[in-house]
Amino acid sequence: MAEPIEYTPGPVTPDSARDEVDDLVSALHETGLLRALGGAVQAYPELTTALVQRIPPDTVRSVSRLGSLVRLPQPGQSDAIVAGLRSAVAAANEALSGEPPSWLDLVRTVRSADVRRGLGAAVAALDAFGREVGRRDT
- Is the pTM higher than 0.85? The answer reads no
Q: In the 8-state DSSP scheme, what is residue 68?
A: G
AA letter at 115:
V
Report the C-alpha gap between 122 and 116 in whole angstroms. Answer: 10
Q: Residue 27 in contact with residue 70, Cβ under 8 Å?
A: yes
- Does 98 have pLDDT greater than 90? no
Quickly state the pLDDT bin for 108 (edges 50, 70, 90).
very high
Q: State the CB neighbour count (10 A cutoff) for residue 34.
A: 15
**Stretch 7-18: mean pLDDT, rounded?**
66
Q: Residue 21 in contact with residue 27, Cβ under 8 Å?
A: no
Q: In the 8-state DSSP scheme, what is residue 55?
A: S
Lowest mean pLDDT among 42-51, 87-96, 113-122: 42-51
pLDDT reported for residue 9: 63
Quickly state the pLDDT bin for 114 (edges 50, 70, 90).
very high
